[in-house]
Amino acid sequence: MRGVRLLPAVLLSLLAACASEPKSTARLRPVGELPPVYKDTWVAWVEQAADWSERREAVLADPKLASFLVDNLARTMLKSYRAGAIAGAHDLRVGPFERSRAELVRMGAHAVPTLAELMAIGDATTALLCGEQLVEIGRPSIDYVLGLLERKEPHARARAAEVLGQLPHAGAKEPAVVAALVAATGDAEWFVRESATEALGHRGTRATEIGPTRQALSRALMDDDPEVGRAAAFGLARLADPEAIPALLNFLERAEREADLVSYEAGQRALRALSRTQKSRSPREWRDWWRANRPSRTSGGNQ
């Protein structure tokens, strides 16, 4: 697993404090029992001290203090959300939920391990909120989230793939991200394969080299689970690469043979998008169209 794992007791105490039903008896220390620097830091944040920007820099320079602050910010974010303490769309007030979310983003890479672990082991609400934060933090999240694809918990792997689909291009590390997602399309659990397939489609729209992604999505079209195949069809449509059409024709023919109307329509949508036409055709008509319209030479840059 990439990154440093947080102590299970810390995460369990966070989850216990934020869940609707307690999951642990782990004890959270009252503010009065904290070391002075920890207490002063937390009180300064809660009371919105005028010099908080300077204090934040000192926190970021101390890994243990930064971890303490991140843990408590995550706890505040989750508890505030569950309590419904969220500003409305037109509410100009900024409460603890909004403040903790914004502060976690400012903490950047320091917040990633806690948020990623909570996303991996928490309930659906925790996973959603922490996943959104990881996406907002952006590129610093990539390495740690990528490591979650190796977790034994299937839902952790699926959540990691979903977030990777939303994270920005990884620069020189992008081939490693794509390779890991391609490997995840062979996961034993269908919902992990579906999430990985969807993520490949999203990342492919930001890629400079789409050949490996197109090939992986074309293979995923024939997955035993129809949800995975439909995700692959959607992803290929997003790539906007006509070279995916032959694989989609096979997908459409399979859907017709199996009377899978949902997959059949997914294939039709993808083919219409890639052919830039509005007309649906039978599989035979699509093959005739492709023979008449296939480019004589494909672009070498995308192969």
Residues 1 and 82 occupy one common structural domain: yes
Confidence of residue 82 (pLDDT cuts 50, 70, 90): confident
| pLDDT for 273 | 96
For residue 197, being part of any structural domain is answered with no
- Domain assignment present for residue 46? The answer is yes
Q: What is the pTM of this model?
A: 0.84
Instruction: Please write down the HEC assignment for all residues of the chain.
Output: CCCCCCCHHHHHHHHHHHCCCCCCCCCCCCHHHCCHHHHHHHHHHHCCCCCHHHHHHHHHCCHHHHHHHHHHHHHHHHHHHHCCCCCCCCCCCCCHHHHHHHHHHHHHHHCHHHHHHHHHHCCHHHHHHHHHHHHHHCHHHHHHHHHHCCCCCHHHHHHHHHHHHHCCCCHHHHHHHHHHHHHHCCCCCHHHHHHHHHHHHHHHCCCCCCHHHHHHHHHHCCCCCHHHHHHHHHHHHHHCCHHHHHHHHHHHHHHHHCCCHHHHHHHHHHHHHHHCCCCCCCHHHHHHHHHHHCCCCCCHHHC
**pLDDT, tens only, 245-271:** 999 999 999 999 999 999 999 999 999
> Do residues 87 and 151 share a domain?
yes
Domain-located, residue 126: yes
Q: Mark whether 126 and 8 lie in a shared domain.
A: yes
Do residues 121 and 42 both lie within one domain? Answer: yes
- Domain assignment of residue 57, yes or no: yes
- For the cut 90, the answer to whether the pLDDT of residue 288 exceeds it is yes
**One domain, residues 163 and 235:** no
Number of compact structural domains in the chain = 2
Domain span at residue 93? 1-168
220 assigned to some structural domain = yes
The answer on 105 and 41 residing in a single domain is yes
Residues 54 and 102 grouped into a single domain? yes
The reply to whether 280 and 153 lie within a common domain is: no
Are 8 and 156 in a shared domain? yes
In terms of domains, do 163 and 233 share one? no
> Residue 28's pLDDT is what?
55
pLDDT at res. 303: 39
Q: pLDDT tens across 28-81, in order?
A: 566 667 789 999 999 999 999 999 999 999 999 999 999 999 999 999 999 999
